[in-house]
Structure 1
Amino acid sequence: MSAPGPLTTDALAARIARDIPDGSYVNLGIGQPTRVADHLDPDAGIVLHTENGMLGMGPAAVGGEIDPDLTNAGKVPVTELPGAAYFHHADSFATMRGGHLDVCVLGAFQVSGRGDLANWHTGAPDAVPAVGGAMDLAIGARRVYVMMRLFARDGSPELVPRCTYPLTGTACVSRVCTDHGVFATGPGGVRVLETYGITPEELRERLAVPFRH
Structure 2
Amino acid sequence: MKKEDFELVRTKSGDELAAVVETLTTAGVPHRVSSSQAAFDITEVGRGDYPADMMVMVSRADLHAARLALEGSFAETELPADHFLHTASDEEILEILSVPADWDPFVVVHARRLAADRDIKPAEITVKSAEQIQALEMGRPAARWHLVLGWFSVLLGGIVGMGIGYSLAYMKESHAEGEFYTYDLRTREIGRWMMWSGVVMLVVWRFILASR
User: Under a length normalisation based on structure 1, what TM-score does the superposition of the two structures give?
Assistant: 0.21
Q: By percentage of residues, which structure has more strand?
A: 1
Highest Rg: 1 or 2?
A: 2
More contact order relative to length (CA 8 Å, sep ≥ 6): 1
Structure 1 or 2: larger helix share?
Answer: 2
TM-score (norm 2): 0.21
